[in-house]
Amino acid sequence: MRLLYVSGTYYPAAGGAEISMHTFLKGAVRRGYDTLVATSLEQKGSAVCSLEYDGVKIININHNTREEELSKIVDSYKPELLITQLMWSDIALKVANERKIKSILRFCKIPAYLDISEGSEFSPTSILVVSDYVRDYVMKNWNRQSIVIHPPIETENVISQGEDRIYITMFNPNIKKGGDFFREIALRMGNHYFATVSGWDILKNGDKTDTEIIRRLCESLRIKYTGQKLDDISFDGVKNVKKFSYTSDVSKIYAKTRVLCIPSQWQEAFGRVSIEAMVNSIPVVGSNVGGLAEIVRGGGVLINNSKDPDEWVQELRKLDDTEEYERIAKKGKLYVEHNYDYNAICNKFFEVINN
């Protein structure tokens, strides 16, 4: 089977959505599928027109001529199935429908306003979602059935040996993720060590938002672009916070992490870092939002009033007690063992592909 994956962001896989699809596509190559990725390589300053990434073939498309170039690729490659998500999903689904090619939209971000209702020019053949929360969102907004397939996390690659677990850690400390609340929590717990890890590197230019990439993403999802930014919250002057740069080897971060804090202020579609931490027997304290709540409710500590720093401080201080710490760490580990199976997730994905 010939698979064509289309998205404006892919290489190098940095965000959770990109990492998940790259994991699936690596698996497709191993299973013998003829697999091609059409994406933009320009944002990372690459001058190449094509490359191979972990065995996955990638071809470059210019954003400004994406519909024309994608149409030519489809006509020459003749995919039996087109898969898309996020940036360029509008154009990918339109081209697939025009040529009567079966398509899958992987729905992994909320909110989104692209019309994927039955019969629209952007209507996918099938819809994959990352959580029950997103499944309900798709049904409510477009009256479409969807299939829940959690993000594939190669858990053996994130397990650490735990060098010196001293930090209460937060990934991607921007406004949407609750970086300002994390800063306030750190200020109120001056006798604890905190750490932040830069994230969403593919959407940034250095430490600042790549506004052109954000504009393109909003355009593809029919979200009004109003100058949205992803710049991280400044922790200058907060002496008990250590800042770590983005790394693809998150096991190094978990080796130093005592507690994972996820103070998100938007409707998280899933929350892969919660699974990664639980695999490492690291307690997770997270907001009661979106798909994230489905995981944390079962394996961690859920903060119902996520806008109240006092509630965060209260729950985090409870983990200073060794017995309580071990109880939550064990709870998370057991949750993953009973509810998250990487091989089952990949098998389900390919069952959908084959059917």
Q: Do 272 and 133 fall within a single domain?
A: no
* 265-317 pLDDT tens trace: 999 999 999 999 999 999 999 999 999 999 999 999 999 999 999 999 999 99
pLDDT band for 224, please (50, 70, 90 cuts).
confident
Q: What is the pLDDT of residue 326?
A: 98
Q: Do 159 and 198 fall within a single domain?
A: yes
Q: Residues 47-51: what's their mean pLDDT?
A: 76
Cβ-defined contacts of 93-101 (< 8 Å, 24+)? 93/121, 93/122, 93/123, 93/124, 94/67, 94/121, 94/122, 95/67, 95/70, 95/71, 96/124, 97/121, 97/122, 97/123, 99/74, 99/75, 101/74
Q: What is the pLDDT of residue 43?
A: 55
Q: What is the pLDDT of residue 191?
A: 96
Q: Do 239 and 133 fall within a single domain?
A: no
Q: What is the pLDDT of residue 167?
A: 98
Q: Do 141 and 163 fall within a single domain?
A: no
* 139-157 pLDDT tens trace: 999 999 999 999 999 999 9
Q: What is the pLDDT of residue 47?
A: 56
pLDDT band for 17, please (50, 70, 90 cuts).
very high
Q: Do 77 and 124 fall within a single domain?
A: yes
Q: What are phi and psi of 125, to 5 degrees?
A: -65, -45
Q: What is the pLDDT of residue 28?
A: 98
Q: Do 28 and 48 fall within a single domain?
A: yes
Q: Do 190 and 328 fall within a single domain?
A: yes
Q: Do 306 and 244 fall within a single domain?
A: yes
pLDDT at 45 over 60: no
Q: Do 346 and 309 fall within a single domain?
A: no
Highest mean pLDDT of the ranges 53-57, 203-207, 326-330: 326-330
pLDDT at 23 over 70: yes
* CB-CB neighbours of 1 under 10 Å: 13
Contact present, 334 and 326 (Cβ < 8 Å)? no
pLDDT at 48 over 70: no
Task: Please tell me which residue, 161 or 124, carries the higher pLDDT value.
Answer: 124
Q: What is the mean pLDDT of the chain?
A: 93
Q: Residues 325-348: what's their mean pLDDT?
A: 97
| CATH code for position 328 | 3.40.50.2000
The token pair at 159 is 């397990």
Amino acid identity, position 44: K
Query: In terms of residue numbers, what domain contains 124?
Result: 2-152+341-354
Looking at the structure of the chain, the number of domains it has is 2
pLDDT band for 112, please (50, 70, 90 cuts).
confident
Q: Do 145 and 257 fall within a single domain?
A: no
pLDDT at 199 over 70: yes
Task: Please tell me which residue, 207 or 98, carries the higher pLDDT value.
Answer: 98
Q: What is the pLDDT of residue 212?
A: 83
Q: Do 302 and 159 fall within a single domain?
A: yes
pLDDT at 46 over 70: no
pLDDT at 351 over 90: yes
**pLDDT > 70: percent of the chain:** 96
The token pair at 203 is 């959407």
Q: Do 159 and 56 fall within a single domain?
A: no
Highest mean pLDDT of the ranges 9-13, 207-211, 264-268: 264-268
Q: Residues 232-250: what's their mean pLDDT?
A: 92
